[in-house]
Structure 1
């Protein structure tokens, strides 16, 4: 994580920014923390997109759908504002390195057990994303983060907003990690994500892109993806049929994420699904949470920087009942609290009654034993 730069906002929505996590084609990503202590990856889209009405409308729809994704293997959307001066979206922060960094920079290809677990969990993530009516459109190694309990997919449902506003003939995605139909500018379906999953697995197994690099330009890459066979040398034999099926040129002949997950069922991953040296790097990433400001749940607002007038955030919430409300006002929260208190008291009375009855039964048994022992 890098420090905030000059010109970066100090807050976005309810999140105080702690540093920069990165930047991409869609915008900049910050590490933020809410007043309640929740840590999030907050993406602020590029300003040029903020002035496109079509982008805002599609962004709002995509974020609404992304909020419905409930997956153990995909980062949860926490908050967003498509009507802000600069639209933004916040997702749960995942403390782990990307698959791209682990394979391409630090350690090289993953072993076969890790690959099976990776493919299984990514297939489950895609199934959950697709069930919400979304297509990822940009599944690639930098959008797969590795944690001790498994991989986590990020940035789903956002590229669609950019695709809708880019105009005809413009291909939005990452060369080398797009399906043939996506490169041709055709509508992207869930089968396109399956193709991307195959390319990601091949990369994780070999450290190479299945259709080569894009130095020759996008046109050269498109020809290789559309007409040439992928380079799968080095993919483990047990995983090879799965990768080949994902990379079929015909979308209709690719397996579904559900079929992939069933084929790659790996059981419980646990904290040993990655090699030891990779697990150590993952653990070091978790240090960001412990060194990124105030501890979770701890509030010391007097130490927070002042909020500028032009901050990208919605109107502040209304004041709590103790600020400016008439004395004796009946608040809904109080009514709920009393109802819950009544339920707790009823449960306590029931437990006390049960304990009393049990005590009486024990006394009766002791008395009966004494009568039998000393009287008879």
Structure 2
């Protein structure tokens, strides 16, 4: 079985802000993400840290400070809750609630396309998250399968790294486009002065196509070709199940004004319901619960190992928007409250493994 929680490298930090770090969850465009917890408590968080060379760029800390502020505006049952951050720390960090489960991208790569009913339920949950974000004046701007986590009780939208308030431009100060190519909207590609809530809806249409077919909606090939098809809204929906095709097509209309609102999309998809995950997804989620329980029972972080080999080249839906991380020197974490934590997480593992909890 492939492990879902990665060990901490020898050069990884052992504490960030108030959190002791237990495992490595992965790497983003500008840093690494760790599983953390407050010493003696059972609340687990995903702690995103920033590589030192990026943090030393003159404009970076201001940008990261805005990211922390935007994340703090997010209040939705369908999005990972913000837990704090510090843009002025030696290693800047941002923490959100940990979602024990795979991303949509991981789940589809392992188990294939999702059933129609599950895609409807998944889409309605994400559309509700967008409704909540937009009501708070926040646009996500990087809605892709890697930013949707699947938990026992439904999907959770994560990573507000390039989310901005309404009125933000689609380009960085250096003119670089932000977003993930295969899951951009035509407005992103055109470099328009503004993206809108309708741009997030377009990206959600692409994501629903991916969930229902297991393939990127605008195909593969040279990046320029993919971006051209996105710019013209030329998605191939021939493999999308007929029951979903009209709704997905509505999201992918070239004219933003013709796309449904997130709230309207919830209704088109049949309303909010907890997804009935297929067996492959239930098992995948269960692996996260079991490994978390084993980690806590062990009484400390996963054993440090030598620095890992470079990761394989990402697909179009995984392309980072900023450069990879060299964390600070290690410090030993405290080890308190182990017994209570073990009991709590064993319960999580049982729930995550149980078929009945998804019905």
**Shorter-normalised TM-score: what interval?**
0.7 to 0.9
Aligned to 1:216: 222
- Indicate the residue corresponding to 1:146 in structure 2: 150
SS at structure 1 position matched to 2:70: helix
Deviates more, 1:124-133 or 1:106-115: 124-133
Structure 1 gaps of 5+ residues are: 301-309, 314-376
State whether residues 149 and 273 of structure 1, in contact with CA within 8 Å, keep that contact through their aligned partners in structure 2. no
* Bigger RCO of structures 1 and 2 (CA < 8 A, at least 6 apart): 2
- Alignment partners' CA distance in 2, 1:260 and 1:293: 40
| TM-score normalised by the chain length of structure 2 | 0.76
Picking from 250, 257, 281, the partner of 2:255 is 250
Structure 1-normalised TM-score? 0.73
- Find the aligned partners of 1:109 and 1:10 in 2 and give their Cα distance: 38
Return the offset for 1:227.
2.3
How many residues of Structure 1 are paired with residues of Structure 2 in the alignment? 296
Structure 1 runs of 4+ with >6 Å offset: 161-165, 310-313
Partner residue in 1 for 2:185? 179
> What's the C-alpha RMSD, in Å, of the aligned pairs?
2.6
Shift of 1:160: 4.7
Match of 1:55 among 41, 57, 60: 60
- Which of 229, 238, 252 in structure 2 is aligned with 1:233? 238
Residue of structure 2 in register with 1:32 after alignment? 36
Deviation sequence 1:205-233 (CA, Å, 0-9, x none): 001111112x312x222211112520112
Q: Which residue of 1 aligns with 2:339?
A: none
Larger Rg: 1
SS in 1 for 2:249: helix
**Is 1:289 paired with 2:295?**
no
Q: Secondary structure at the residue paired with 1:194?
A: helix
- C-alpha displacement of 1:56: 1.9
Which structure carries more helix by proportion? 1
Q: Is the 8 A contact 1:84 1:312 kept in 2?
A: no
Q: 1:267 to 1:224 in 2, by over 3 A?
A: closer
Matched, 1:20 2:19: no
Query: Residues 117-132 of structure 1 correspond to what in structure 2 (within 5 A)?
Result: 117-132=121-136
Distance 1:233 1:13, change over 3 A: same
- Residue 324 of structure 1 aligns with which residue? none
Deviation string 1:24-67 (CA, Å, 9 cap, x unpaired) is: 21321001111233211000023333123433223223322322
Match of 1:85 among 90, 111, 117: 90
Q: Secondary structure at the match of 2:295?
A: coil
Task: Decide which moves more: 37-46 or 259-268.
Answer: 259-268
Q: 1:201 and 2:208 equivalent?
A: yes
5+ residue gaps, structure 2, are 301-327, 332-359
For the 8 Å contact 2:199–2:256, the answer to whether it is kept is yes
**1:97/1:189 CA distance change after superposition, 3 Å:** same
Counterparts of 2:272 and 2:217 in 1: how far apart (Å)? 28
Please say if residues 7 and 23 of structure 2, whose CA atoms lie closer than 8 Å, have aligned partners that are also in contact.
yes
What CA deviation, in whole Å up to 9, does each residue of 1:222-251 have, x standing for no partner? 211112520112212221111111111122
Contact 2:124–2:265 (Cα < 8 Å) also in 1: yes
